[in-house]
Amino acid sequence: MLANVKEVQFLVKGDERGKLVIQEALSDLVPFEIKRSFFIFDTTPGTIRGRHAHYRNRQLLICVSGACTLSCEMPDGSRSSYRLDWPDKGLLIEGLVWHEMKEFSKDAVLLVLASEHYDESDYIRSHEDFKRIAASGGVP
């Protein structure tokens, strides 16, 4: 799979009772089957999480409360940053993308929808390995 990072804007359904945002598997906004979800909260001030890439796992990240910043490095070395600060904003990460999560607000809850079950062998946790795999043409 080609490396891809895409900002996703969900439709907010709202009425006098409040707001609702839908994530539906195998849709334009969530283009994979969701096999797992997890969320990150109560982060230590100043912490940086992530610092890895995946071989296969595709993910959609949504900060459902508070805010955090996603920093992404593509196989060609280009970098971009995204601030997730509203529950209708998501970030889709697919393919070989080195990513870090940082600048969490105190109330941040980062929800992650994943295409794969947890498998530590799917992680590239060394940046040197990431650069080597990227230089060799990416994930086979």
Given the complex with ligand T46, which of 15 and 73 has the nearer CB atom?
73
- Does 59 sit near ligand T46 (CB under 6 A)? yes
Phi, psi of 132 (to 5 degrees): -65, -45
Residue 67 · residue 37 · CB < 8 Å: no
Q: Per CB under 6 A, which region of 18-26, 27-35, 36-44, 75-83 contacts ligand T46? A: 36-44
Given the complex with ligand T46, which of 36 and 79 has the nearer CB atom?
36
Whether 54 is catalytic is: no
Contacts with ligand T46 by CB under 6 A: the residue count is: 10
Of 9, 11, 27, 38, which one interacts with ligand T46 (CB under 6 A)? 38
How far apart are CB 101 and ligand T46 at their closest, in Å? 6
Spatial separation of the C-alpha atoms in residues 9 and 34, rounded to whole Å: 18
Alpha helices by DSSP H, 1-139: 127-135
Given the complex with ligand T46, which of 9 and 37 has the nearer CB atom?
37
Phi, psi of 66 (to 5 degrees): 70, -150
Catalytic residue among 52, 99, 117, 127: 52
Q: Which tokens in the block code for residue 51?
A: 């610092």
Of 4, 29, 39, 50, which one interacts with ligand T46 (CB under 6 A)? 50
Sign of CA dihedral 87, 120, 46, 96: negative
60, 36, 37, 39: which is closest to 49 by C-alpha? 39
Positions that interact with ligand T46 (CB under 6 A): 36, 38, 40, 49-50, 59, 61, 101, 112, 118
Residues designated catalytic:
52
